[in-house]
A = this chain, B = another copy of it.
Amino acid sequence: MADTVLQVDHRPLYVRVREILVQRVSSGYWKPGQSLPNEFELADELGVSQGTVRKALDMLASEHLVVRRQGRGTFVAEHTSADIHFRFFHLHDADGCPAIPDSIGIKVEVDVARPAERKALRSDQGSSVIRIRRVRTVEGEPVIVERIVLPGDLFAGIEAIDPIPNTLYDLFQRRFGVTISGADEELTAIAASAQEAKLLKVAPGAPLLEINRTAMGVDGRRIEWRISRCLTTRLHYFSQLR
């Protein structure tokens, strides 16, 4: 009896448990670095078995939302500069060693979103954006010119931060409570414009690798639109297909 539900949820239990846990992480109920209750406590609280909680936690771990440490516990993932480079920065040198670029000539501005920016960030007409422009160097040599666009509502006040750090995603998480969970990149070979050529100390028309990235948050919201134009004479973009 009591068949009052109109729509039963036929998805597996562990998927529903996962969603509850995702919600608690992305809402900030559990904060980055904080430890979660252990598997048995969560199982009791949610009225499922420990094995089901484990399966949900394993999914979160594979999505980099939590980190599990044997003997210590399960923790909300905390972005570090090293993590971010490994996951989101795929330019390596000829030996396959990840390059660690610095940033120079940073310019930050706040403005009303242009149509292309609204499209990339899926934001409404009249929304504000923050634009960051910078040149990135490896061993002192300029190799990337970069333009980054952020939704103004999520990052209010970022323009006052000085200096803007090299890796942004850990800043996003620590200072603005925004965790990047993934990104789509579109790569194109283009010819350097006169201005880019000057900044990168190459001839105009020199081939550059353009990386057009859209980064998403845990909830799928568009968080960042970034176009990087890279000199790939000594750097290469690395992609693993599995």
Residues on B with beta carbons closer than 8 Å to the beta carbon of A208 = 189, 207
**CB closest residue in chain B, given A236:** B186
Residue contact A191 to B209, C-beta cutoff 8 Å: no
**CB closest residue in chain B, given A190:** B207
Residues on B with beta carbons closer than 8 Å to the beta carbon of A181 = 242
Residues on B with beta carbons closer than 8 Å to the beta carbon of A111 = none
Residue contact B232 to A188, C-beta cutoff 8 Å: yes
Residue contact B209 to A241, C-beta cutoff 8 Å: no
A176 on the interface (CB 8 Å rule)? no
Residues on B with beta carbons closer than 8 Å to the beta carbon of A92 = 186
Most B-side CB within 10 Å, residue of A63, A207, A232: A207
Residue contact B63 to A242, C-beta cutoff 8 Å: yes
Residue contact B232 to A185, C-beta cutoff 8 Å: no
Residues in chain A within 8 A of chain B (CB atoms): 63-64, 87-88, 90, 92, 181-191, 205-209, 212, 230, 232, 236-242
Kindly list the 10 A-B residue pairs having the minimum CB-CB distance in the complex, ordered from nearest.
A207-B207, A187-B237, A189-B207, A189-B209, A189-B189, A185-B239, A183-B241, A188-B232, A182-B242, A186-B236
